[in-house]
Chain A
């Protein structure tokens, strides 16, 4: 069987040959090119486009963040640069470009220079595994999810490098906090992703989306309550992974100035900033792909709309929720952050995995409930039980505590 990339490359070669012939660019010479060269060239072009698009996303997101925060606080936000302040991030970027590239003499120069590249490249390389639309090539990797987990954890290396190399106390504290936080939340995140793998038996993200393409009821988020909880755990862990409020302790400006990038200025600072927003987009995109059907339309009658619209819509919705959280919640304390991860998310994740396993077993045995002659599958029963169990747990959690007194 031919690999889809080879088929695609053959088509591209034929098209290129036709184009050069009609445009009189020296005959149909691309037809004589070896297939490997065509594949390589195509991949380079795709990669350049991908990097440019992903580099453009933070520019949009920064504007969005400023506008969202402004409207949350009953302000107008940027209005001066361009219509409706649309060009304000570009202006910021140009300003940063004109700043001096400064390395503090007391820092570890090599590490200090290398760190932004690590963060930048690691957050951009993850893009390759995300399928933004139906395609046989992009995002179609058998180890996609695993690669996402592997490459995204490179970012923390860059952060530690930056904090250590700066030789500044704030940077060091920021880097240590970031390291502790990111590695801690990687576990509930990995376990939430694991539930998806259990449900599908594949790590290929394109296949994951295909499995959810039937409509909103097929989204993994709505398959059974354990996956529903898993989606929330994934999203909250992802918010902590990208250091956003309420988990922005590594950059808590009221405590440690700017955290690990205190000493960075100009374009190197911009790399951290870009990578941060690119990360926020990427984790949202992965959450949308894993739990909300990716590029698949929520209802079959809407399947005429291109997949990339759904993909971007779902991702932007999640990004908006991140911003909503940021401008609503105060920052948590370090001990709260750690206990949330280790004492709540981790046990809940394990219970989730076991619950998902037991449900799969019950489905296999076709054990369910008979209700007035109608057979309810184990998943349906679990959905019905879900609100009651939640209410019961909430009641238990409040057992013996004082009722909240509201001001009269």
Chain B
């Protein structure tokens, strides 16, 4: 059995979850279509803004900090992904030679340098 078939159940769960969600939504729509008539009203269709009329568009500019978090995340997340293949072979390789640990130490040292730089520059401070 090819490897792709092992992961087929995940796709299947994905599809069935979507189908289930769609069917429930369809039932809900049919109920409001035929069984209960929802009330009409203009205010119903405005977005919620604490009870007053919405002021302008909500596609505002938001704080730069979110971009910073996203960028730091990408850097560190990729590091974590790099760690995984190493971690999978670690247990077997360490029995042969300790080199695998020292190699990773070098990697972590470089990472720690970058981390210290980001911290020092205030990239991790929210205020």
Is A217 on the interface with B (CB-CB < 8 A)? no
Chain A residues contacting B48 (CB-CB under 8 Å) are 168, 170, 257, 262-263
Look across to chain A and name the residue whose beta carbon is closest to the beta carbon of B111.
A350
Is A117 on the interface with B (CB-CB < 8 A)? yes
Look across to chain B and name the residue whose beta carbon is closest to the beta carbon of A181.
B69
Q: Are A191 and B80 in contact (CB under 8 A)?
A: yes
Report the separation of the CA atoms of residues A47 and B102 in the bound assembly, to the nearest whole angstrom.
44
Is A252 on the interface with B (CB-CB < 8 A)? no
Q: Are B91 and A342 in contact (CB under 8 A)?
A: no
Q: Are B126 and A334 in contact (CB under 8 A)?
A: yes
Q: Are A180 and B66 in contact (CB under 8 A)?
A: yes
Q: Are B47 and A168 in contact (CB under 8 A)?
A: yes
- With contact pairs A267-B25, A338-B69 given, residues A350 and B88 touching in the complex (Cβ less than 8 Å): no
Q: Is the interface of B mostly helix, strand, loop or mixed?
A: helix
Is A129 on the interface with B (CB-CB < 8 A)? yes
Minimum CB–CB distance for B113 against chain A, Å:
12
Report the separation of the CA atoms of residues A361 and B16 in the bound assembly, to the nearest whole angstrom.
46
Chain A residues contacting B110 (CB-CB under 8 Å) are none
Q: Are B13 and A125 in contact (CB under 8 A)?
A: yes
- With contact pairs A104-B45, A141-B6, A167-B57 given, residues A50 and B108 touching in the complex (Cβ less than 8 Å): no
Minimum CB–CB distance for B1 against chain A, Å:
4
- With contact pairs A43-B8, A51-B16, A55-B20 given, residues A360 and B90 touching in the complex (Cβ less than 8 Å): yes
Chain A residues contacting B18 (CB-CB under 8 Å) are 117, 120-121
Report the separation of the CA atoms of residues A363 and B127 in the bound assembly, to the nearest whole angstrom.
45
Minimum CB–CB distance for A236 against chain B, Å:
17
- With contact pairs A121-B21, A125-B13 given, residues A338 and B94 touching in the complex (Cβ less than 8 Å): no
Chain A residues contacting B44 (CB-CB under 8 Å) are 102
Task: Kindly count the residue-residue contacts between A and B in the assembled complex, taking CB atoms under 8 Å apart.
Answer: 214
Q: Which of B45, B69, B87 has the most CB of A within 10 A?
A: B87
Minimum CB–CB distance for A162 against chain B, Å:
13
In this complex, how many residues of chain B approach chain A with their Cβ under 8 Å: the count is 74
CB-contact partner of B101 in A55, A266, A271, A358, under 8 A: A358
Q: Are B59 and A167 in contact (CB under 8 A)?
A: yes
Report the separation of the CA atoms of residues A24 and B118 in the bound assembly, to the nearest whole angstrom.
73
CB contact list, B52-73 vs A, under 8 A = 54, 57-60, 62-63, 65-66, 69-70, 72-73
Look across to chain A and name the residue whose beta carbon is closest to the beta carbon of B74.
A183
Q: Which of B32, B92, B115 has the most CB of A within 10 A?
A: B32
Chain B residues contacting A200 (CB-CB under 8 Å) are 91
Q: Are B10 and A104 in contact (CB under 8 A)?
A: no
Look across to chain B and name the residue whose beta carbon is closest to the beta carbon of A268.
B25
Report the separation of the CA atoms of residues A141 and B124 in the bound assembly, to the nearest whole angstrom.
37
Q: Are A198 and B87 in contact (CB under 8 A)?
A: yes
CB contact list, A129-161 vs B, under 8 A = 129, 140-143, 146-147, 151
7 contacts between A and B (CB under 8 A): A3-B5, A51-B20, A146-B84, A169-B60, A198-B91, A357-B94, A360-B90
Residues of B within 8 A of A (CB): 1, 3, 5-14, 16-18, 20-22, 24-25, 27-29, 31-32, 35-36, 38, 44-50, 54, 57-60, 62-63, 65-66, 69-70, 72-73, 76-77, 80, 83-84, 87-92, 94-95, 98, 101, 104-105, 108, 111-112, 115, 119, 124-127
- Inter-chain pairs besides A116-B21, A172-B59, A190-B80, 13 sampled, C-beta below 8 Å: A100-B38, A102-B44, A104-B47, A106-B46, A124-B17, A129-B10, A151-B10, A180-B66, A180-B70, A187-B73, A187-B80, A267-B28, A339-B126
